[in-house]
C-alpha cells in the first residue's frame, strides 16, 4: 500500500495549516463527541470552542483508567467513536514506565504518510536515493493481548506487521520475511547478510535509534568472519533455523562469492581501526538515517567515527501516541535539526514552558506558537486522547510556509537531582558535549552513556556511567583498554564546570553535593542494558538508552560491570 505522496502535498499541507487543523478537530469531535469521556465535558456537543473551554488538559495517568477499561473488554466508545483495534506499547525507556496507547488504522495510515513524505524529502536532497536501497534495521517484538484479546505491541512492530508496511519493505535490503523473524539474533544476522550481499546498492544505513545501530556494529565485530564465510560458500549457517529467513536468503545469497568475502575480510581485519567501517563496507552510503536529536545526541561522535562523517539524518519526530513531524532539511547538522509538524496527523495544541521547566498555563494552537518560545505539545488524536500532555519540551525555530518547526529540547520530567537542583536532560547533554572534547583529544570516544543521582551516601553526587571506549581502543591500535587517570579526572571536572550555576553553587567545598563521578563499564554492557529493558517488554526498534536510570535492577546490570571509577578533584568555578 502506498499513499503516493509528493512534494506538492507537502506544500499544500504546510500552507493551509490553520484550515487543516480546524478540519482535523472537527472530524475528531464529530466521531468522538458522544464518547463517555467527552460527553462528561461536552454533553454531546462537537463545538470546537467549547472543546477548548471545557475539556481539561490531562496526563496519561488521568486517562489510563478509561484506556484500561477498553483494554479489559468494555466497548471502545468509552473513549473513541471508531473502534480501537490495537494498543501501542511505548518503549518506556525515556519516560521510565511503559504505557499503552489505544490506536486504530488511522495511526498506521499517518505513520505511512509521514514516512512516505520523508522519502520524498530524502530523494530531493540525496541524488540516487530513490534508485538505491536502504539498509534500515527493523525488528518486530513480542505481541501480547489485552484481557479482551486486542493486540498490545510496540507501535513499530504493529506497523511492520500491517498491510501499510509493504511499500516501505520494497526499498529495503532486508526482505519482509526477515524483518518479521521473531528471533532478534537470527534477524540481525540475516539483515546484515542481506545488506552485505547488496552492498553496491545501499545508499543509506540506519535504524530508528542509534543504540540499535551500535549494537549491530558490535554484532558485526563478532560475526564478520561467519558472514563472509557464508558469502564465500553460498550457504547460510545452520543456526539460522527460521525457515522464512532461510528461504529468502537462498535467493539473495546466490552463488558463492569469493571476491566479496575477501573484501569483507580485508575491511574488517586488515586495518587497525574500525573507523569508517560503514562507508568502507557500504561505499555508496550517502547518509546514516537514525534519530540523533534529544538524548540520542550522545551517539553523534561514535556514529561519525564509524561512518566517516556522512550526514546523520534524524528524519522524524513521532511517538506511540501520534506522528508529529518530519525533518525537511535532512542535511542540517544534528544540533540544528527541526521538525515541521504535519497538520493533518492529529490536532495539536501547545502549553508554554517557562525557564524552570514548569508550564505557564497558556495554551495556543499550532498556528499561534511564537518563534523562540518553549512548549509542551498537547495531543488530541483519533483514538481517544484529548488534550493529553506528550511530556516533551520543544522550541519553535522557524516556519515552513505557515507551519511551525520545532527543535526537540528534552523529555520534560527526566531530571537529575541530588539536592534541590533541577538538572535537565538538556543540561546533561550540554555538559557531556563539552567534556567529550577532553576525551577526543586523547583519542577516546564514548559509546554509551547514562547517569543517576547517588544519594545512598552523604553528600549525594552525580554518577555518569559510560561504556568502555571501544573504537578508541581499536583506534590507537593497542587493543588494550588504557584509561588515563589524568584525562578522565579532567573529563569529570569539565563536565561539572558545564553544569548549571545552581549545581556549581551546591558543589562548593563541603557543600551538599559531592564530586561528580564517572564509572567506566566493560564494553558491551550497554548492549546488556538494552537486553535487560527488552526482557522487561521494551522494543528493540524503539529502544532509547535512558539518559537517567531510575530502576535499581537496571542499575545493577551496569554496576556489575564497572571497570574503573574517576572523580572530579576540584570544585567548579561559580
Ligand atoms: P515511544 O512512544 O516509545 O516511541 O517514545 C516516544 C518519545 O521518543 C517521544 O515522546 C520523544 O521523547 C522521543 N522521540 C521521538 N522522536 C524523537 C526525536 N526525533 N528526537 C528526540 N526524541 C524523540
Strand partners, 102: 87
Percent of the chain surpassing pLDDT 90: 70
Does 288 score more than 50 pLDDT? yes
Instruction: Give the Cα separation of 253 and 28 in Å (integer).
Output: 49
pLDDT band at 31 (very low <50, low <70, confident <90, very high): very high
What pLDDT sits at residue 48? 96
Domain ranges of the chain: 7-106+315-411, 130-285, 425-567
C-alpha atoms less than 13 angstroms from C-alpha of 148 in its C-beta half-sphere: 14
* Residue 67 Cβ contacting ligand 1 at under 6 Å: no
Ligand 1 centroid vs 140 CA: distance in angstroms?
Answer: 18
Choose between 445 and 267: higher pLDDT.
Answer: 267
List the one residue out of 491, 489, 508, 512 whose CA is nearest residue 569.
Answer: 489
pTM for the predicted model, two decimal places: 0.86
At 240-253, the pLDDT tens digits run 999 999 999 999 99
pLDDT at 356: 64
Distance (angstroms) between ligand 1 centre and the Cα of 149 equals 28
For the CA of 544, the closest atom of ligand 1 is 8
Q: How confident is the model at residue 480 (pLDDT cuts 50, 70, 90)?
A: very low
Q: Is any atom of ligand 1 closer than 6 Å to the C-beta of 542?
A: yes
Expressed in angstroms and rounded, the spacing between residue 294 Cα and the centre of ligand 1 is 8
Binned at pLDDT 50, 70 and 90, residue 443 comes out as confident
- pLDDT of 341 higher than 80: yes
Residue 157 CB–ligand 1 contact under 6 Å:
no
pLDDT for residue 303 is more than 90: yes
- What pLDDT was estimated at residue 477? 45
Query: How remote is the CA of residue 95 from the centroid of ligand 1, in Å?
Result: 10
Question: Which residue's C-alpha comes closest to atom 9 of ligand 1?
Answer: 319
What's residue 479's pLDDT?
Answer: 43
Q: What was the pLDDT predicted at 70?
A: 97
Q: Atom 8 (ligand 1): residue with closest C-alpha?
A: 319
Question: Which ligand 1 atom lies nearest to the CA of residue 390?
Answer: 10
**Which range in 21-25, 181-185, 449-453, 481-485 is most confidently predicted, on average pLDDT?**
21-25
User: Does the beta carbon of 179 sit less than 6 angstroms from any atom of ligand 1?
Assistant: no
Q: What is the pLDDT of residue 541?
A: 82
Band of pLDDT at residue 231, cut at 50, 70 and 90: very high
| CA-wise closest residue to 375 among 387, 388, 357 | 357
Among protein residues, the one with the nearest Cα to ligand 1's atom 10 is 319
Nearest ligand 1 atom to the CA of 155 is 4
**What's the CA-to-centroid distance between 392 and ligand 1, angstroms?**
8
Which residue did the predictor score with more confidence, 475 or 159? Answer: 159
Which atom of ligand 1 is least distant from the CA of 94? 12
Does ligand 1 lie within 6 Å of residue 425's CB atom?
no
Q: How confident is the model at residue 230 (pLDDT cuts 50, 70, 90)?
A: very high
Encode pLDDT of 459-476 as tens digits.
889 999 988 655 444 444
Cβ–ligand 1 distance for 293 under 6 Å, the answer yes
Quick one: pLDDT band at residue 212, thresholds 50, 70, 90?
Answer: confident
Q: What percent of the chain lies above the pLDDT cut of 70?
A: 94
Residue 278: CA count within 13 A, CB half-sphere: 28
Structural contact between residues 523 and 274, judged by C-beta atoms closer than 8 angstroms: no
Cβ contact 324:405 at 8 Å? no
For residue 512, the model assigns a pLDDT of 80
CA distance 441 to 246: 46
Looking at ligand 1, which residue's alpha carbon is closest to its atom 22?
Answer: 294
Q: Find out whether the beta carbon of 317 lies less than 6 Å from any atom of ligand 1.
A: yes
- CB-ligand 1 contact for 93 (6 Å cutoff): no
Nearest to 302 by CA among 215, 431, 185: 215
Angstrom distance (rounded) from CA 363 to CA 162: 36
For the chain, the average pLDDT equals 91
Q: Indicate whether residue 318 lines ligand 1 (CB < 6 A).
A: yes
Distances (CA, A) of 312 to 65, 173, 332, 435, 514: 40, 19, 9, 21, 37
Rg of the chain's alpha carbons, rounded to an integer?
A: 24
Q: What average pLDDT does range 385-403 have in this prediction?
A: 96
Q: Which of 30-34, 191-195, 433-437, 491-495 is least confident? A: 433-437
| Ligand 1 within 6 A of CB of 146 | no
Q: For 52-105, how does the pLDDT look when each residue is reduced to its tens digit (9 = 90+)? A: 999 999 999 999 999 999 999 999 999 999 999 999 998 765 545 678 999 999
**Banded model confidence at residue 194, pLDDT cuts 50, 70, 90:** very high
Query: Distance from the CA of 317 to the center of ligand 1, in angstroms?
Result: 6
Give yes or no for residue 94 CB within 6 A of ligand 1.
yes
Query: Which atom number of ligand 1 is nearest to the Cα of residue 93?
Result: 3
3-state secondary structure (DSSP) of residue 574: coil
**How far is the C-alpha of 394 from the C-alpha of 142, rounded, in Å?**
32
Predicted confidence band of residue 482 (pLDDT cuts 50, 70, 90) = low
Residues in the chain: 574
Residue 413 has pLDDT above 90, yes or no: no
**pLDDT at site 501:** 87
Amino acid at each position: 500500500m502506498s499513499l503516493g505522496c509528493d512534494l506538492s502535498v507537502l506544500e499544500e499541507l504546510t500552507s493551509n495549516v490553520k484550515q487543516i487543523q480546524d478540519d482535523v478537530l472537527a472530524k475528531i469531535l464529530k466521531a468522538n463527541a458522544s464518547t463517555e469521556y467527552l460527553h462528561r465535558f461536552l454533553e454531546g456537543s462537537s463545538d470546537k470552542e467549547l472543546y477548548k473551554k471545557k475539556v481539561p488538559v490531562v496526563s496519561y495517568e488521568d486517562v489510563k483508567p478509561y484506556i484500561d477499561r477498553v483494554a479489559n473488554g468494555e466497548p471502545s466508545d468509552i473513549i473513541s467513536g471508531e473502534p480501537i483495534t490495537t494498543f501501542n506499547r511505548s518503549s518506556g525507556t525515556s519516560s521510565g514506565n511503559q504505557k499503552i496507547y489505544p490506536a486504530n488504522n488511522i495511526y498506521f495510515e499517518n505513520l505511512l504518510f509521514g514516512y512516505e513524505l520523508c522519502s520524498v524529502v530524502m530523494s530531493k536532497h540525496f541524488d540516487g536515493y530513490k534508485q538505491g536501497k536502504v539498509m534500515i534495521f527493523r525488528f518486530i517484538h513480542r505481541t501480547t493481548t489485552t484481557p479482551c484479546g486486542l493486540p498490545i505491541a510496540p507501535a513499530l512492530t504493529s506497523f511492520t506487521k500491517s498491510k501499510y508496511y509493504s511499500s516501505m519493505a520494497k526499498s529495503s535490503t532486508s526482505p519482509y520475511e526477515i524483518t518479521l523473524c521473531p528471533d532478534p539474533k537470527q534477524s540481525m544476522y540475516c539483515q546484515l547478510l542481506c545488506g552485505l550481499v547488496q552492498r553496491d546498492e545501499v545508499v543509506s544505513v540506519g535504524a530508528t535509534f542509534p543504540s540499535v545501530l551500535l549494537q549491530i556494529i558490535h554484532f558485526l565485530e563478532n560475526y564478520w568472519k561467519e558472514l563472509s564465510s557464508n558469502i564465500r560458500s553460498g550457504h547460510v549457517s545452520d543456526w539460522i533455523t527460521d525457515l522464512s529467513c532461510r528461504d529468502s536468503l537462498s535467493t539473495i545469497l546466490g552463488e558463492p562469492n569469493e571476491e566479496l568475502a575477501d573484501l569483507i575480510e580485508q575491511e574488517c581485519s586488515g586495518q587497525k581501526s574500525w573507523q569508517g567501517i560503514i562507508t568502507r563496507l557500504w561505499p555508496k552510503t550517502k547518509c546514516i538515517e537514525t534519530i540523533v536529536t534529544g538524548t540520542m545526541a550522545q551517539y553523534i561522535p561514535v556514529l561519525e567515527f564509524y561512518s566517516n562523517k556522512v550526514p546523520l539524518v534524524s528524519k522524524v519526530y513521532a511517538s506511540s501516541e501520534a506522528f508529529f513531524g518530519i525533518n525537511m532539511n535532512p542535511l542540517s547538522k544534528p544540533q540544528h535539526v527541526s521538525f515541521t509538524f504535519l497538520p493533518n496527523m492529529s490536532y495539536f495544541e501547545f502549553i508554554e514552558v517557562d525557564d524552570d521547566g514548569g508550564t505557564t498555563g497558556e495554551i495556543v494552537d499550532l498556528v499561534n506558537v511564537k518563534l523562540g518560545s518553549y512548549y509542551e505539545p498537547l495531543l488530541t488524536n483519533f483514538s481517544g486522547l484529548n488534550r493529553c500532555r506528550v511530556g516533551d519540551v520543544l522550541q519553535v525555530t522557524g516556519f515552513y510556509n505557515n507551519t511551525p518547526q520545532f527543535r526537540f529540547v528534552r523529555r520534560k520530567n527526566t531530571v537529575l537531582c541530588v539536592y534541590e537542583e533541577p538538572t535537565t536532560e538538556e543540561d546533561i547533554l550540554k555538559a557531556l558535549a563539552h567534556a567529550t572534547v577532553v576525551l577526543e583529544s586523547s583519542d577516546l570516544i564514548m559509546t554509551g552513556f547514562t547517569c543517576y543521582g547517588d544519594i545512598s551516601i552523604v553528600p549525594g553526587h552525580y554518577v555518569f556511567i559510560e561504556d568502555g571506549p571501544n573504537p578508541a581502543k581499536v583506534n590507537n591500535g593497542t587493543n588494550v583498554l588504557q584509561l588515563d587517570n589524568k584525562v578522565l579526572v579532567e573529563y569529570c571536572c569539565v563536565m561539572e564546570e558545564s553544569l548549571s550555576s545552581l549545581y556549581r553553587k551546591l558543589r562548593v567545598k563541603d557543600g551538599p553535593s559531592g564530586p561528580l563521578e564517572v564509572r567506566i563499564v566493560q564494553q558491551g554492557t550497554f548492549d546488556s542494558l538494552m537486553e535487560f529493558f527488552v526482557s522487561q517488554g521494551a522494543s528493540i526498534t524503539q529502544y532509547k538508552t535512558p539518559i537517567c536510570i531510575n530502576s535499581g535492577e537496571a542499575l545493577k546490570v551496569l554496576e556489575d560491570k564497572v571497570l574503573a571509577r574517576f572523580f572530579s578533584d576540584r570544585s567548579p568555578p561559580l
